[in-house]
């Protein structure tokens, strides 16, 4: 008898531009393919499937997304521009094949750019708390903003400013939550001269209502980004940064055992 395979399901979201020849313009669409793996590797895969066709205008969804699985549900967060509004949206799926309609995450009403979302989930697997951060530009300055949902993503509360960067045009944020419920975010900011030197950090101990002033984790060379953070227990943190080291990129790791009050540079794992 053939041994049963333990199948682990994962899926990839593929984003590309479709050129509309008659309109001499393009629209962006979101596609996906589910790939199933066992201990030997790829076992099977589904055909490519369209999950967001985009609007009729030459705009649409962007592949700047956060994606995760929590419990038995898949969660996909991404930027969508319909030609007027430019916001962050969430969609969920029970199987990675059928998806809910878009639910808005960001709360900007001035049609400025919202992009590069990241999220973490906690609590009930049926209706989890969803914590999200993204780049926001509503006040003519680039910001890192945060919002929380307590009903599994059906609604999100008002957003909170974590940081403001008057000298930057882009921020890339990563979010984590420890076992005690504290939230941590790191981000890189790209200046107008396209320099990405610094990795910044902030912490919240009240579910994202308030955040500590931003502090520096790492100061590298011009293209030291992106940074990712993971958290566990009560304030044990690890930050990995793709560091620019004289025209080569290496992984630099910092750890903290006190919730980011201080950081220890670890031995570089790559060279």
Q: How would DSSP label each residue in 214-263?
A: PEEEEE-STB---EEEEEETTTEEEEEEEEE-SS-EEEEEEEESSTTSS-
Question: In whole angstroms, what is the distance from residue 185 CA to residue 213 CA?
Answer: 12
Decide if pLDDT at 19 tops 50.
no
What pLDDT does 64 receive?
55
User: 254 near 228, Cβ under 8 Å?
Assistant: no
Q: What is the pLDDT of residues 208-248, one digit of tens each?
A: 999 999 999 998 888 888 999 999 999 999 999 998 877 77
Q: What is the pTM (predicted TM-score) of this model? A: 0.86
- Residue predicted with more confidence, 255 or 224: 255
Mean of all residue pLDDT scores within the chain = 84
The string over 59-70, giving b where at least 16 C-beta atoms fall within 10 Å of a residue's C-beta and e elsewhere, is bbbbebbbbeeb
How far, in Å, CA of 56 to CA of 120, rounded?
A: 32
Task: Give the torsion sign (CA, 184, 80, 130, 240).
Answer: negative
d(CA 219, CA 117): 23
Given this model, what pLDDT does residue 63 score?
57
Q: What is the mean pLDDT of residues 50-72?
A: 73
Alpha-carbon distance of 111 to 113, in angstroms, equals: 7
CA distance 51 to 72: 19
In this prediction, residue 192 has a pLDDT band, given cuts at 50, 70 and 90, of low
Is pLDDT at 108 greater than 80 in this prediction? yes
């Amino acid at each position: 008898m053939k041994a049963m395979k333990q199948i682990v399901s994962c899926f990839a979201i593929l984003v590309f531009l479709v050129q509309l020849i008659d309109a001499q313009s393009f629209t962006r669409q979101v596609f996906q393919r589910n790939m199933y793996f066992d201990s030997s590797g790829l076992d099977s895969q589904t055909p490519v499937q369209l999950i967001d066709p985009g609007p009729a205008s030459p705009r649409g969804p962007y592949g700047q997304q956060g994606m995760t699985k929590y419990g038995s549900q898949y969660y996909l967060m991404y930027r969508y521009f319909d030609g007027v509004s430019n916001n962050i949206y969430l969609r969920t799926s029970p199987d990675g094949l059928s998806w809910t309609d878009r639910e808005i995450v960001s709360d900007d009403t001035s049609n400025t750019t919202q992009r590069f979302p990241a999220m973490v989930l906690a609590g009930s697997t049926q209706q989890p708390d969803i914590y999200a951060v993204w780049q926001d530009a509503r006040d003519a300055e680039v910001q890192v903003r945060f919002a929380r949902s307590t009903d599994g993503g059906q609604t999100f509360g008002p957003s909170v400013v974590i940081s403001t960067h008057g000298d930057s045009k882009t921020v890339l944020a990563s979010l984590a939550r420890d076992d005690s419920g504290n939230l941590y975010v790191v981000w890189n900011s790209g200046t107008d001269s396209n320099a990405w030197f610094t990795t910044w950090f902030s912490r919240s101990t009240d579910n994202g209502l308030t955040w500590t002033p931003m502090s520096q984790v790492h100061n590298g060379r011009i293209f030291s980004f992106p940074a990712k953070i993971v958290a566990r227990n009560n304030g044990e943190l690890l930050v990995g940064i793709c560091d620019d080291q004289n025209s080569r990129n290496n992984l630099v790791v910092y750890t903290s055992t006190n919730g980011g009050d201080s950081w220890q540079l670890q031995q570089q794992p790559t060279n």
